[in-house]
Amino acid sequence: ILFQIFDAFKSRLHDSNSKVTQVALETMHKMIPLLKDNLSPVINMLIPAMVDNNLNSKNPGIYAAATNVIQALCQHLDNYLLLQPFCTKAQFLNGRAKQDMTEKLA
């Protein structure tokens, strides 16, 4: 059921309405400490949804919310769960997002 919930939630992280995207990221930031490693089944789906476009957003609210989500992931999830998806994103992103992901990996 977790997969079904986050599969539906994932599309809000890419919504064409920037306010919806920002609220979705802020909501994700609040959920991470509650769910912690229970997110492991959906982490490979969520990280690209949270990072793609949002870390390169020119909207300061979306960028800040995406940065907060990445920080919360690093604080509350086992680093082993984050290594592969972060490496993949750092490899294929560009601009500020690539720099942010590379710093998190380091």
In this predicted model, what pLDDT tens digit does every residue of 16-37 receive, in sequence order? 999 999 999 999 999 999 999 9
Q: For residue 81, give Cα distances in angstroms to 18, 44, 91, 94.
A: 29, 9, 17, 23
Q: How far is CA 103 from the centre of its chain?
A: 15
pLDDT at position 69 is 97
> Which residue shows structure tokens 């601009």?
95
What's the pLDDT tens digit per position in 60-76?
Answer: 999 999 999 999 999 99
Using CA atoms, how far apart are residues 42 and 63, in angstroms rounded to an integer? 22
* Domain definitions of the chain by residue range: 1-104
Q: What is the pTM of this model?
A: 0.93
> What is the CB neighbour count within 10 angstroms for residue 95?
9
Question: What class has domain 1-104?
Answer: mainly alpha
